[in-house]
């Protein structure tokens, strides 16, 4: 009988989000503390952390290092979360790891969550495979996230901070900043993006207390189509590099990655400018401002699921000089729907609302009412039973740009089931 990853992880699903380090620390101890064997770059932030991880992983792989990457959530398959040298773990290997982890769980104690189990699998895999470095993305927050078990990361990165997951992290941006800054470790260098003033105050204060060298690079400067220039931190030198990921925000995200790489160079890591250029060029990060073809139609997909990401998406769409965007959207019930609509919708736009399958999907009637309150001048607004019928209807009724957005889970369902 073939055992699936889903079936192995399903028993842990009902434990939900349960922040805290005690369970993961005990579990990793039972496994021989594999995380102690893995040099780590730790990346937190509201948005941009996945892109930064993708840049770092690609460049370090190009530089010849055996590079692990752990990110979440996945789009289509669990194996996407755990990669070495850009290649996802084999299904059979991940199943074996999960079985080993289940055998190490003391069920007399509080059970680990699903995220803690898959995180433990990543640490165990990277240790077994003797990676030179692992680029590890925080799941939620930072301070109490299951990835926050490394005591001396090579470098930490905080990409951005805005109001998301406030139910778990606290109601204000200051509260959220305090949680994300929880990945900082004494004396370990930190690269920080452009933050709101109240968040920056929190982060800077902690870097002083912990004596963390702080780097805040300037965004890359666009010099040609899909090319940018980075000002080095330690010298007057410049690096010209390709920028394959779309959207102006990538000027910031790429600079954060390059600053982290510069810190590694200072620590003796051999990362040539050629490796940087080639690694940046090869970077892929699916589901984020990604152009694909579906049924001979050009479709833009983006998982923007919070207001800050929605603003970035709208800015990119506006840069295309396209009028009256057609949105196909689904959102989880826990998201800030009104603020996302406020960022995305403009007069004359069309909105096709769909459920997010197998998730805590927002009520479509509620979303319809909210969208029309937010933007009364929509050219069209209706609900559809699934994403595919909505896309068919959207492309039948318009020649304008169609964008599928609102949830990475929705994008994953679409990508995993499209014809």
Q: Where are the alpha helices (DSSP H) in 105-210?
A: 114-128, 166-169, 173-180, 197-210
**Residues, the chain, total?**
419
pLDDT at 235: 81
Cα–Cα distance for residue pair 175/191, rounded to 1 Å: 20
d(CA 102, CA 299): 41
Q: What is the pLDDT of residue 359?
A: 87
Q: Residues 143-170: pLDDT tens digits?
A: 999 999 999 999 999 999 887 655 566 5
**354 to 328, 332, 334, 384: CA distances (angstroms):** 7, 11, 16, 5
Q: Which pLDDT belongs to residue 108?
A: 83
- What is the block-wise mean pLDDT of the chain (419 residues), using blocks of 10 residues? 82 76 95 97 95 98 98 95 98 96 89 95 98 96 94 96 65 88 97 95 97 97 95 90 95 98 97 98 95 96 92 95 94 93 96 94 96 96 97 91 96 91
Kindly report the pTM of this predicted structure: 0.94
Position 1 scores a pLDDT of 47
Burial tier of 324 (Cβ tally within 10 Å: 0-12, 13-18, 19+): middle
Residue 131: per-residue pLDDT:
98
Q: Which two tokens stand for residue 414?
A: 């679409």
């Amino acid at each position: 009988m073939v055992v699936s990853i889903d079936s192995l992880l399903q028993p842990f699903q009902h434990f939900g989000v349960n922040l805290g380090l005690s369970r993961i620390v005990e579990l990793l101890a039972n496994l021989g503390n594999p995380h102690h064997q893995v040099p780590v770059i730790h990346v937190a932030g509201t948005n941009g952390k996945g892109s930064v991880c993708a840049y770092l992983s690609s460049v370090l792989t190009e530089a010849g290092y055996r590079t692990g990457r752990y990110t979440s959530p996945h789009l289509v398959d669990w194996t996407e979360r755990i990669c070495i040298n850009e290649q996802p773990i084999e299904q059979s290997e991940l199943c074996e790891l999960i079985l080993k982890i289940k055998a190490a769980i003391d069920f007399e104690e509080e059970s680990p969550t699903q995220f803690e189990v898959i995180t433990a699998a990543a640490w165990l895999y990277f240790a077994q495979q003797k990676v030179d470095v692992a680029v590890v993305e925080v799941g939620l927050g930072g301070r109490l996230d299951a990835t926050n078990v490394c005591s001396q990361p090579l470098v930490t990165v905080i990409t951005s901070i805005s109001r998301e997951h406030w139910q778990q992290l606290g109601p204000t941006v200051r509260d959220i900043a305090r949680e994300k800054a929880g990945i900082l470790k004494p004396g370990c260098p930190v690269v920080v993006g452009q933050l709101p003033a109240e968040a920056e105050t929190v982060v800077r204060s902690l870097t002083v207390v912990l004596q963390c060298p702080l780097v805040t690079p300037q965004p890359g400067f666009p010099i040609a189509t899909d090319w940018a220039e980075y000002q080095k931190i330690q010298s007057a030198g410049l690096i010209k590099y390709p920028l394959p990921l779309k959207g102006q925000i990538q000027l910031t995200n790429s600079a954060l990655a390059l600053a982290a790489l510069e810190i590694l160079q200072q620590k003796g890591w051999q990362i040539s400018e050629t490796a940087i250029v080639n690694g940046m060029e090869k970077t892929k990060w699916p589901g984020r401002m990604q152009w694909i073809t579906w049924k001979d139609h050009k479709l833009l997909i983006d998982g923007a699921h919070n207001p800050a990401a929605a603003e970035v998406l709208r800015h990119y769409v506006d840069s295309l000089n396209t009028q009256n965007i057609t949105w196909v959207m689904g959102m989880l019930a826990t998201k800030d729907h009104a603020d996302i609509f406020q960022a995305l919708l403009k007069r004359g736009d069309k909105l096709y609302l769909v459920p997010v399958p197998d998730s805590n999907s927002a009520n479509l009637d509620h979303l319809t009412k909210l969208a029309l309150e937010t933007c009364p001048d929509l050219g069209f607004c209706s609900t559809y039973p699934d994403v595919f019928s909505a896309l068919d209807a959207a492309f039948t009724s318009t020649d304008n740009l169609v964008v599928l957005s609102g949830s990475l889970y929705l994008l994953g369902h679409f990508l995993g089931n499209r014809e």
